[in-house]
Structure 1
Amino acid sequence: MSTTTRTSLAALCATALAGTLAAAPTQAVDSTDYVALGDSFSAGTGTFARTDSCYRSPYGYPVLVAGQQGLALDYQACSGADTSDVLADQLGTLSPGTAHVSMTIGGNDVGFADVLTECALPGWVSDCDGEIDDSLVTLRTQLPGRLDQVYGEIADRAPNAQVAIAGYPYLFNGQDCSFATFFSGREMSRLNAGTAELDRLIDARSGAAGFTYVEVRDDFAGHAVCDSQAWINNLTFPVDESFHPNRAGNRAYAAAITPALGVTSSTASRMATPQAEPASTPSLRAQADAVLDLQLTSDRNLRRAATAGVNPGEVTRAVAKLRSGNERVVRTGLADLQALDAELAARD
């Protein structure tokens, strides 16, 4: 075959291919198609309205956004999800026709629940600093790549979508107002600082992917755990509702995320309409039972107390009061344990 013939055939094939590509239909974007991805903060955990094993509350912010804006919600977010769960289980319905995507992710990758559980213990049985340090190592060394992978998959599967990636609020205002938790001021400060570092990473990596980052820490200012109008639950029973946005907190998320989804929020003011919050403060008896479950008077934990400079006898006497049928005595025992923890924190 001559060079001229090969050139002519190549040109013919190129022309035919171009015509085929030009004729191939493209999937139209459905302006109402909204996919909500992510973890418990997107699934509505904290609203006391679980609907399935993933939680997916009717009071979660994705439902509020969809209802206010007339969007067709595909609720994929799942409580407990990390980046690997999003990749494995949540991206299947994304397509070039997807118009809107929202997500919170990253908290579980860095051990959100494990860190809070450890730091909530009395200082003499807790390794809060060690747990936070481990979390920060994961955040700094592994999470950037994990986020890039998730964001890249979203961009590939839903190239025409407006994607809103939300951060996380500060949980604490510096006060621990529960008898059943033992957060020190320094621990709460470190936990908030970790949240800020996580948010900065999410901001940077989502921006690099071309997505819109939604900052919520300022929105939640004055509404942390123990604030008079808290948008985040304190320790609750069931425990999995703890330290998550309540219904008011989800309304705040909805108001913050809506503009980033590229929809006009003509009814955004209605998102702030008060809704009754379910009772979430555990009874004094429930708090005492939770502390008893810590087995602070076991031989091992009493040795830990002695090593930390906490009088084991005082621990034993305080715990004994928690078994009383007299509410005043129980309250005194809980207050005594809080005082021992505060004294240890002050020494440290």
Structure 2
Amino acid sequence: MRRRRRTLSIATALAALAAGVGVAVPAGAAPPSPRYVVMGDSYSAGNGTGTYEERTCWRSPDTYAAKVAAQDGADLTNVACSGGVVADITQPRALGSPFVRTATYEVSGTATVQQRKWLQRAEAEALCGTPAQPDWHYEQTITSSAPAGRQLTATVSCQLTAAAQVDAVTPRTDAVFLTVGGNDIGFSSIVLQCLVLRSATGCKGTIDAANATLPTLKSETVAALTEIRKRSRGNAEVYLLGYPHLINTDSYRIPEAAPTYDAGRALHDLQLLGDDLQREGVAELDAGARGNGGFTFVDVKPAWGGMAHGIDPRTAADNSQAWLVPVLAPGRELPEWVHPTVEGHTATASALTAALR
């Protein structure tokens, strides 16, 4: 219970602090609910669950983080996003392609002042629209304008943008959960070449490139995790979760008709190396945090039964036991392929719960 006790002690300390600055706290009142943040990529956003709040980041109310938060009576903020990379943790991310809007507003001043006031009016009147998520906003850039006295007609480029994910973390945050790194090493390309096209040459090329990227990815991930902890002023416990086995075998040779490359072995080795490097990075952070810890790597593979619930990569295979959405699954969209189903998120939640305790 070391980590859970730490979370509750933070909440209690905050309640005491509130009382110390004159905020009324009823005698015997329970400490505030824990505050959790989930960030990272599609494996945390919710791709694969089948229920979504929107289909840009593919955030779902049925993620592993939502399940753990419900168990703990915690408030959860989900800023994870499909396609997320390590850089998105500390930097804003453009979502989709920009579009244009044109409007005429009455504004005064020099040309520069007019444009600034025009943009303020455009934002106030939601010219680009109202973002569907609280961490999204529109970046507005004037591309052309035509002044006529106090009237300014302008066209603006509207770019939907997600804030840096770490912006959701505050000193009141008790725990942060995330999966990240898969897209940095080319997850989509690996799925396409190894599981959709089943190209020996293409699969080998994408996996070789991924292996070459992993050492740099480790240092980038460590820097991002450090920033998360810093934003919480050392209060939040940070849990980096690994990925489940993508396929249910450690040997799958392609092309199936005349195999020349063991894609299963290469993918298995890549995933284990990725786990090792993430585990090492987290252990280094945990040991170097002035004795306070605060960082945990969560290996979800045992909770998934090892490889038992990965996808069977063979053509026309029976994937009834898979906890990942199979490629070309009926009624499923491409962003859901090879992502955890509700059963998969339940397994991941169990692994995280064990780490929290």
Decide: shared fold, TM above 0.5: yes
In structure 1, what is the Cα distance between the partners aligned to 2:213 and 2:259?
Answer: 23
Q: 2:80 aligns with which of 74, 77, 81?
A: 77
1:230 shift after superposition: 1.6
Deviations 1:285-337 (A, max 9, x none): xxxxxxxxxxxxxxxxxxxxxxxxxxxxxxxxxxxxxxxxxxxxxxxxxxxxx
In structure 2, what is the Cα distance between the partners aligned to 1:183 and 1:245?
Answer: 29
Instruction: Tell me the equivalent position of 1:153.
Output: 227
SS of equivalent to 1:127: helix
Alignment TM-score, normalising by the size of structure 2? 0.60
Q: Can you give the 5+ residue segments of structure 2 that lack an aligned partner in the other structure? A: 1-19, 22-30, 92-163, 287-294, 313-318
Distance 1:234 1:157, change over 3 A: same
1:253 shift after superposition: 0.7
Q: Which amino acid aligns with 1:32?
A: P
**Contact 1:173–1:224 (8 Å) recurs in 2:** yes
Distance 1:92 1:162, change over 3 A: same
Q: Which amino acid aligns with 1:252?
A: A
In structure 1, what is the Cα distance between the partners aligned to 2:341 and 2:70?
Answer: 18
Distance 1:117 1:184, change over 3 A: farther
In structure 1, what is the Cα distance between the partners aligned to 2:212 and 2:172?
Answer: 38
**Contact 1:163–1:260 (8 Å) recurs in 2:** no
| Greater shift in the superposed pair: 253-262 or 94-103 | 253-262
1:57 shift after superposition: 0.8
1:229 shift after superposition: 2.1
1:93 shift after superposition: 2.1
Distance 1:32 1:117, change over 3 A: same
Instruction: Tell me the equivalent position of 1:120.
Output: 195
SS of equivalent to 2:323: coil
1:321-340 residue pairs with structure 2 within 5 A? none
Distance 1:64 1:183, change over 3 A: farther
In structure 2, what is the Cα distance between the partners aligned to 1:121 and 1:184?
Answer: 17
Report which of the two has the higher share of strand. 2
Segments of 4+ moved more than 3 angstroms? 121-126, 182-185
Distance 1:183 1:257, change over 3 A: farther
Q: Can you give the 5+ residue segments of structure 1 that lack an aligned partner in the other structure? A: 1-23, 263-348
* Sequence identity (%): 34
Distance 1:232 1:99, change over 3 A: same
Which structure has the bigger radius of gyration? Answer: 1
Deviations 1:78-108 (A, max 9, x none): 1110000111120112122211111111111
State yes or no: 1:139 paired with 2:223.
no
**Contact 1:56–1:77 (8 Å) recurs in 2:** yes
Instruction: Tell me the equivalent position of 1:225.
Output: 311
**Contact 1:169–1:217 (8 Å) recurs in 2:** yes
Q: Which amino acid aligns with 1:223?
A: H
State yes or no: 1:35 paired with 2:46.
no
Q: 2:270 aligns with which of 188, 194, 197?
A: 194
Distance 1:66 1:243, change over 3 A: same
State the Cα RMSD in Å: 2.7
In structure 2, what is the Cα distance between the partners aligned to 1:124 and 1:225?
Answer: 17
1:50 shift after superposition: 2.3
1:50-61 residue pairs with structure 2 within 5 A? 50-52=52-54, 53-61=56-64
**Contact 2:324–2:340 (8 Å) recurs in 1:** yes
**Contact 1:120–1:183 (8 Å) recurs in 2:** no
In structure 1, what is the Cα distance between the partners aligned to 2:260 and 2:53?
Answer: 35
Q: 1:243 aligns with which of 320, 338, 342?
A: 338
SS of equivalent to 2:168: coil
**Contact 1:162–1:261 (8 Å) recurs in 2:** no
1:184 shift after superposition: 8.1
Q: How many residues align?
A: 233
In structure 1, what is the Cα distance between the partners aligned to 2:190 and 2:169?
Answer: 32
Distance 1:37 1:123, change over 3 A: closer
Deviations 1:31-82 (A, max 9, x none): 5111111110111111122222111111111111111211000111111100
In structure 1, what is the Cα distance between the partners aligned to 2:248 and 2:231?
Answer: 40
Q: Which amino acid aligns with 1:248?
A: E
Alignment TM-score, normalising by the size of structure 1? 0.62
1:30 shift after superposition: 5.4
**Contact 1:31–1:99 (8 Å) recurs in 2:** no
In structure 2, what is the Cα distance between the partners aligned to 1:224 and 1:123?
Answer: 17
SS of equivalent to 1:36: strand
In structure 2, what is the Cα distance between the partners aligned to 1:87 and 1:62?
Answer: 20
SS of equivalent to 2:176: strand
Q: Which amino acid aligns with 2:187?
A: F
Q: 2:90 aligns with which of 87, 91, 94?
A: 87
**Contact 1:101–1:261 (8 Å) recurs in 2:** no
